[in-house]
Structure 1
């Protein structure tokens, strides 16, 4: 049951459909295996109708449709169609190859025609352990267009562990584009090591004085803490004490994390229980709505 005291805004929901004739799926490289992913897509799709029904049941005012790399890679058609059809509730966060020569103009055109609030960059380190796809000369042309179009930049680097190599590049980009909000998926992978005191390590502390870097707290984080016997509420309190309540926002990871949506909402609310009430509202709703919902209804 929704908690009437708290409205939610979901900054990290993956939408996908079993209408593969209209929206072809490419599940190659899926963590659970291609065949398992395709069976799940057919059996339990996260369509707009299903997701919005869950939002209505759980007190979620709106959210961001984050392109699901596992199913669609850089084919953003379903994400865009969902956001356009439900522009009062959903904005689109696309995935494109930042270094591809066609991406800057493609991003400009898509943002001009559709209900787009952000661009998500996803990738792995190279052989030297570096992340040049974030800030190569070609990628910077995409960052220039994102800044021009006032888009949020969402960064998802892999594998899922704290990385000086990735986060120092992100910090440099944030300083280069001070008017652009950079949102780190899954909070940039804080490590559940050594109990609650170890969850915010030196890699993340370098971001304290970079105010346009924000953090998306998702179910992946909450699951990792549960597996490591870390109280998520302690982590959330430390994040707010470290960065301020204006830089942390909730996202469910719906469609990718096998926890019921009602449980995700309940766990998110519980994770903020050590915060002042005003800060709870910021983390659960206000920050996400400000960044990913400011164009809704337009």
Structure 2
């Protein structure tokens, strides 16, 4: 099977992909004010990006056209805009057939549940992303704050996928246990773990760490591989194709998807799609389609929502 799948990978350079994780931002700071406080990147670097290399939707769609991307999800870029989703929402409204919107809101803000309702009903968003770090005790209380639980309920009522990214990088048992509990409490909400949930490596170095076992068995928890993962694989000497093969064996291709992280990861888009396709080399044809296109399209395509 491996030889056939690898041979197929060589023959489908023009196969269609769906990008589940792209970022857009503009140098029009008068209309779209920025907030780079406490960002992962320095304020100076972000200012340089805005002035010299803004990732507008036009530029993103041009890259998609070149690389066979049918459509994709724009994910709010909190490093520049925090929870002001204005530019992303306006961009999605301008290109509704190609670019959908996954907004970021504050999991601890009591206003978030109503804000999420408005985004769903008035702006036709396709997803919510919640992020946060560990608390002083190493726990992740923002995942289950009172405001967050009300937000989870709104997502459940509207069948809205929720993407999660906890920090710092690396599998965190406290976060993983909370996420698994949330999946049980809200079985109608699809939870998408960004960057494969920071999977670490198993003892053989060929698949995700056993620390993720609590979330593997939850059918409503999905996993998104991005360029951040692939760059980590390369730095660690990990074979991305064997890693993704092992991941699919554990959870199924229908719970896995690919996203570029374009706009945050500073890398040519063509290299991102090349890495994605290479990582799917050991998957069957149907698994490839699910991982590279169908899973994300099912969750995040704006058309028809």
**SS of the residue 1:123 aligns to:** strand
1:47 & 1:115 partners in 2: Cα distance? 20
Residues paired across the two proteins, number: 295
Shift, 1:195, TM fit: 5.3
Shift, 1:115, TM fit: 2.5
Cα deviation code 1:178-201 (max 9, x no counterpart): 11100000010011475533x411
Q: 1:210 and 2:218 equivalent? A: yes
Pairing partner for 2:170 from 157, 161, 172: 161
Matches within 5 A, 1:117-132: 117-132=126-141
Structure 1: 5+ residue stretches without partners = none
1:279 aligned partner = 287
Cα deviation code 1:39-94 (max 9, x no counterpart): 11211111000000000000000111100010000000011111111110111111
2:29 aligned partner = 20
Cα deviation code 1:150-175 (max 9, x no counterpart): 21000010001101100111111111
1:263 aligned partner = 271
1:244 & 1:68 partners in 2: Cα distance? 29
2:297 & 2:205 partners in 1: Cα distance? 28
Structure 2: 5+ residue stretches without partners = 1-10
Shift, 1:34, TM fit: 0.5
Q: 1:95 and 2:104 equivalent? A: yes
The answer to whether the 8 Å contact 2:195/2:224 transfers is yes
1:132 & 1:47 partners in 2: Cα distance? 35
**SS of the residue 2:237 aligns to:** coil
Pairing partner for 2:78 from 69, 74, 94: 69
| C-alpha RMSD over aligned residues | 1.5
2:261 & 2:40 partners in 1: Cα distance? 15
TM-score normalised by structure 1 residue count: 0.96
The answer to whether the 8 Å contact 1:192/1:224 transfers is no
1:231 aligned partner = 239
1:25 & 1:77 partners in 2: Cα distance? 11
Pairing partner for 2:229 from 211, 221, 227: 221
Shift, 1:288, TM fit: 0.3
The answer to whether the 8 Å contact 1:182/1:213 transfers is yes
Matches within 5 A, 1:45-194: 45-192=54-201
Pairing partner for 1:247 from 247, 255, 260: 255
Shift, 1:276, TM fit: 0.4
1:54 & 1:68 partners in 2: Cα distance? 18
TM-score normalised by structure 2 residue count: 0.93
1:213 & 1:171 partners in 2: Cα distance? 8
